[in-house]
Amino acid sequence: MTYTENSFEYNQIQIQTDHQGYLKNVTDWNTDIAEIIAQKEQIALSPAHWEVINFVRDFYLEFKTSPAIRVLVKAIGIKLGADKGNSKYLYTLFPIGPAKQATKIAGLPKPAKCL
């Protein structure tokens, strides 16, 4: 697998990204590509990560925008229980920032406002 600065290879296809590693095309995404991006972010994806990634991706596909952190926290709380419905839990999964990292791994554009 070869990486260049703004793309990486997957199944002999060059996948285009921006300089921060966000996919250029939402439709290029699949779960293998999610794993590749996660590796670059030094995150080993667990089912807990996938819950968040799937939520963020579904949210984006339906509403054409990435959810604010508050919405993410609330939705995860409803899905996984109140003990996980807080930003601390999300930061343990995505240490650099849940909004940035979960959207990147979900193959979405960088959120305009990281809130």
Partner 1 sequence: MKKLTIIFRRAPHGTPHGREALDLALLSASFEQEVSLIFVDEGVLNLVKMQHPELVGAKDFIATFGALPLYDVDTVLACKTSLLEYGLDKAELTMKLTQVSPAEITQHLADADEVLVF
The smaller minimum CB distance to partner 1, of residues 45 and 68, is found at 68
Name the minimum Å distance from CB 62 to partner 1.
Answer: 7
Q: Is 25 helix (H, G, I), strand (E, B) or coil?
A: coil
Q: Which is nearer to partner 1, 36 or 71 (CB)?
A: 71
Smallest distance from partner 1 to CB 21, Å: 23
**How far is C-alpha 112 from the geometric centre of its chain's CA atoms?**
14
Instruction: Answer yes or no: are the C-beta atoms of 98 and 43 closer than 8 Å.
Output: no
Active site residue 114: yes
* Cβ distance to partner 1 smaller for residue 38 or 57: 57
- Contact segment (CB under 8 A) with partner 1 among 24-32, 58-66, 79-87, 100-108 equals 58-66
Residues 29/38, Cβ–Cβ less than 8 Å? no
Packing angle, helices 47-63 and 69-80, rounded to 10? 120
Measured CA to CA, the distance from residue 43 to residue 93 in angstroms comes to 8
Span 60-99, contacts to partner 1 by CB under 8 A: 62-65, 67-71, 74-75
Amino acid, res. 98 = P
27 binds partner 1 (CB under 8 A): no
- What is the spatial distance between Cα 52 and Cα 102, in angstroms, rounded to a whole number? 7
Give the footprint of partner 1 on this chain (CB under 8 A). Answer: 59, 62-65, 67-71, 74-75, 112-113, 115
**Which residues participate in catalysis according to the annotation?**
114
